[in-house]
Structure 1
């Protein structure tokens, strides 16, 4: 398995985006329309190659990790003869090329490899999780991790005073605001939309402005399905997850 990485073509950064004109002002470039069109085509192709290369490395890394911890030996024949793995790989390759998130590409790579893992959830559950991985962005996953146990997250980040000093009570939004330390209204709109997405998919339910008794603000709000997704993602302790950058 350790030789699989040698099969991945190298990615050449020297071929990347707009190298020839990147430092020029737009009004200094003659015949901007055709040149810009070619440059953008080149940029898209180069970025897709870069993302595909990163994804391929992620798949190999996940395969190597599986081979190291699997109770049964994983061979190259197992990999190339698995219809489910190859079908899933073909599907997530397209998704990986279209996302700007490095983290999401790693999730997609691990989801493909889980088809080869005898300890993974049943096929129908894996298919459900794959759909969620494709649909959800980094903000969704972090919010799910946070609301799996807000108290644990605040404790892990030295923010216990947020709920200890809440008096008679407060809302989940106060805990979330402290976790993000961010007050930009545009990001707030993104958060509320993401929470609506999580609730609509049955993963978590958090009404940010609901006033409740002391302690209620840090009660877990992820569903059993949401917790199962976090376990499947296997990204470490949810309480240690760092929020994505705003925007």
Structure 2
């Protein structure tokens, strides 16, 4: 019996006959290439580190330091103060305006003092009508008194008689032998005003009936502001 010799397969024929071996080798090669590519990209990254909060990071405003001018009387120094954009570093103090002088029309605009105040008006001359007080009669609880008027002037004049009695009551008042005037009693003061002017050189008595005055002597008696005689 003859022996049959079996042929030994070669390495190339084994690889060719097993396709999965080829696929495994290809996958390994691709993985190696991918790892090499990732390493090269990571080594070339040069991006700067981002700040902690980009939204809050703002550029700082530039500051400038101004030096004081060397000229006497210049604006004040602003050394050490920050210069804000849009604002001028010049002084905002305005110079005081001189007060204009008031000219009164004199030569070269000369200012003249105000004229002095006019002197007060002289007092009015005393009335030409004078009076003398007297008691005509007295009785229990009252009396009748009179003020005799005399016009010492050269023309006719009206007149006003006033007598002061702090207590009492005025019953009536009248002009003896002449046209009547008006009278009243208020606050202890008897007032009688003439109805017609008293002629120059004429004389007339004005009489008063008073009660419960406690005295026949008035505290005051005047004719046109002048004190009566006879008190």
TM-score band by shorter chain is: under 0.3
TM-score normalised per structure 2: 0.18
Q: Which has the larger radius of gyration?
A: 2
TM-score normalised per structure 1: 0.17
Structure richer in helix, relative to its length: 1
Q: Which has the higher contact order (CA 8 A, sep 6+)?
A: 1
